[in-house]
Amino acid sequence: MKPSVDPNNFKFSEYIQVRWTDLDPLAHVNNSIYIQYFEIARGRYMLEAAPSWDWHKDMFLLANINCDYLQELKIGMPKTKCWVRTKEMGKKSFVIEYMITTDDKNVHTVGTSIQVMFDTKSKTTIEIPDWLRNEIASYEKENTINIK
C-alpha cells in the first residue's frame, strides 16, 4: 500500500521514542500505540503552529481519528518521526493529517483526525476563532490547507 499523503506538504515533525512497552508479541509497535504517537505530536504541533493557544480556554474535541498501517514499525529504527499538518479547515472543525516515518523517507503509517471546537461553559460547538484560523494558516506551507 502506498502512502495517501504528500510528504512535501508537511512542515512540522516530532521525534518519537519507540518504547519496549509499545511493542506487541510480534515485536512491532502495537496498533493502538500509533494513536498515542499522533496525540503527542498533535499537542506539540498546536503549541508551535498556534502560539496564542490557551488550552484552558480554547478547547477542541476529537470527533474522529483513523490510521492506515503501511509497514511495521519496530524499536530501534532510525529517526522515527511523526509529521503533523492541518489539512482542512471548516467553520467549526479542522482536519489534521499525520505521517510516521523512519529515516525521513520510509513511511510506516498515515492518518487523520477531526477536531471540533467546543465551548466548555455552554457545552456546545463553536466556530474556529479567527486568530486560530490565521495562526495555523500562516504557519503551514502556502496553499496546503483546504479552506471550506
The conformation of residue 40, written as its DSSP 8-state character, comes to: H
pTM for the whole structure: 0.94
Q: How far apart are CA 57 and CA 92, in angstroms?
A: 16
CB of 51 within 8 A of CB of 132? no
Q: How far apart are CA 102 and CA 125, in angstroms?
A: 37
7-140: CATH number = 3.10.129.10
Q: How confident is the model at residue 3 (pLDDT cuts 50, 70, 90)?
A: low
In three-state secondary structure terms, 41 is helix
Residue spans of the domains in the chain: they are: 7-140
Tens-place pLDDT, residues 56-102? 788 999 999 999 999 999 999 999 999 999 999 999 999 999 999 99
In three-state secondary structure terms, 140 is coil
**In the predicted structure, residue 1 carries a pLDDT above the cut 90:** no
Tens-place pLDDT, residues 30-39? 999 999 999 9
Q: Tell me the three cell numbers of residue 53.
A: 493557544
